[in-house]
Structures are given as C-alpha cells and as structure tokens.
Amino acid sequence: MSSIPRVLAVLDELLATAAPEQRGALWRLADQGRDLDANLVRLPPGAEVGEHQEDVLDVLLVVVAGTGRVVMGEEFLELAPTTVVRLPRTSRRALVAGPDGLSYLTVHRRRPGLTIKPSVEVPVTYEGGEGPCMLDRVCPDCGRLSEDSAPVFCSRCGERFPER
C-alpha cells in the first residue's frame, strides 16, 4: 500500500457512467493493507436494504444522490444529498430509497477477519471431515460472509441474497 495520497474515485463520474439498472455496490475501496472500508451503493427507486444490524462496526453513511430514509422501527431519518448519518454498531435499521433512488457512500473501519471461538476454553481434538458449507451466506455481489443464518440483504452492499 502506498503512503502517497491519491484520488481513488470521482463519485459523480461513477454514478453517471453506471448502467441505469446497476444497483448495489458501484465502487469499493480495494487497496491492500488499508485500515478503512468504503463502498458507493446505489438503490433504484423504492428499493430497500432490509432491517439489519452491524454488531462490530460503526458506519458513516453519506448521501451523494437521490433521497430515502433510514428506518428504525416506527422512527425514521430523512435522507437527501449531503446528509451524513452515523449508524452506531448494534443499531437496527433499514434503508428505503425514495422516488429518484438513493446513492450513498459508506465508510467504516475494515472488518476484522472472521474467527470462530468457543464460548469456554475447550481442548481441541481433530475429528476429521469438512466444515459446514456456508456458501448460501456469502453475498453474491461483494463476497461478504453474513453472520445471519438466513440472510435476506447484505449488510455491506445492500444486495439481496438469492431465495432458497
């Protein structure tokens, strides 16, 4: 990873050149060795990212185009261009795009690698065989493994998981 500042993306250009039907992550930060993750996400008019909860990271959401809402149960926050919202970890929320769609940038610390830890210290013995397949929990768009056993929407890019 370079320590020299550089332009990574011009959001207006990314939005203007994306196909009209393209939704989900239009761009993501991909430098190796980085401490941050960032995604430019576009939702078409009326689309939504279903209710979810990020348990590990706070997320900063910056609206770059369109309108929408952050829905928290019966309450909501209106979204418009230049609106900046902090989504605290453990907060339950959904996103709903307005009549012109919604494009937003999310920024957060890079996710730690997934690990499986026992709740108590247990001696490990190898019993053979393969681990369970979790491919149905991997987002088809961005590749993130969902912690939810039956995910509907990806908490990173907003893409809907295929129905089982």
CATH of the domain at 44: 2.60.120.10
The reported pLDDT for the residue numbered 109 is: 86
Q: Does 139 map to a domain?
A: no
pLDDT higher than 60, residue 129: no
Q: Does 132 map to a domain?
A: no
Q: Does 137 map to a domain?
A: no
Does the global pTM surpass 0.85?
no
Q: Does 147 map to a domain?
A: no
Structural domains in the chain (count): 1
Give the dihedral of Cα atoms 104, 61, 66, 144; nearest 10 deg. Answer: 40
How many Cβ atoms from other residues are within 10 Å of residue 116's Cβ? 5
β strands within 110-160, DSSP E: none
Kindly report the average pLDDT of the chain as a whole number.
Answer: 83
pLDDT higher than 80, residue 50: yes
Q: Does 73 map to a domain?
A: yes
The reported pLDDT for the residue numbered 112 is: 58
> How confident is residue 122, by pLDDT bands cut at 50, 70 and 90?
low
pLDDT tens-digit readout, 53-95 = 888 889 999 999 999 999 999 999 999 999 999 999 899 999 9
Q: Does 154 map to a domain?
A: no
Structural domain for 83, as ranges: 11-113
Tokens encoding 65: 């185009």
Q: How far apart are alpha carbons 10 and 159 in whole angstroms?
A: 22
